[in-house]
């Protein structure tokens, strides 16, 4: 156990390194629908999960809790204000990144984590329809 200051110091150093489970699910959907031409981990500012360079399309797979999707009813009780501010910062950053790509002439597709579930498959397929001829 650490005191509050030490725990905060430790947590500030934690950085995400790919949301592998969600990305792998989307890769499977790409393969099932013969979607080709994507690159993963492409080194560009904004860090999209996938890029389609030929079509200038970026794809982000956003976690519902972390990026503010309202499909989940769960909200942390402990430190609720901290988590609300954290989500607000993430939402703001997502908007900035989307605007940055759009200003460069790129199309941005944002896929929510919940859309990767079987019950939401039709919505997901509509979102990625334009990728089929990449």
Tokens 């607000």, residue located:
88
What is the pTM (predicted TM-score) of this model?
0.81
What are the phi and psi torsion angles at 77 (to 5°)? -85, -45
Is residue 11, in this structure, part of any structural domain at all? no
Is residue 41, in this structure, part of any structural domain at all? yes
Could you tell me the residue range of the domain that residue 116 belongs to? 18-131
Residues facing residue 94 across a β-bridge: none
Domain count, the chain: 1
We report the CATH number of the domain holding residue 37 as: 3.40.960.10
**What's the CA gap between 54 and 36, in Å, rounded?**
11
**What's the CA gap between 39 and 71, in Å, rounded?**
28
Per residue of the chain (134 residues), give pLDDT as tens: 778 888 788 777 766 655 678 899 999 999 999 999 999 989 999 999 999 999 999 999 998 888 888 887 677 778 888 888 988 999 999 999 999 999 999 999 999 999 999 999 999 999 999 888 65
**What's the CA gap between 112 and 124, in Å, rounded?**
9
């Amino acid at each position: 156990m650490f005191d509050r200051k030490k725990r905060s110091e430790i947590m500030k150093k934690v950085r995400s390194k790919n949301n592998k489970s969600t990305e792998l699910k989307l890769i499977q959907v790409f393969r099932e629908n013969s979607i080709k031409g994507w690159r993963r981990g492409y080194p560009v500012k904004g860090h999209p999960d996938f890029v389609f360079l030929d079509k200038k399309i970026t794809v982000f797979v956003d976690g519902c809790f972390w990026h503010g999707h309202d499909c989940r009813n769960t909200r942390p009780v402990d430190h609720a204000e901290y988590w609300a501010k954290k989500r607000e910062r993430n939402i703001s950053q997502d908007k900035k990144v989307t605007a940055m790509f759009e200003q460069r002439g790129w199309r941005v597709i944002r896929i929510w984590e919940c859309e990767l579930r079987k019950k939401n498959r039709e919505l997901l397929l509509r979102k990625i329809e334009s990728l089929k001829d990449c």
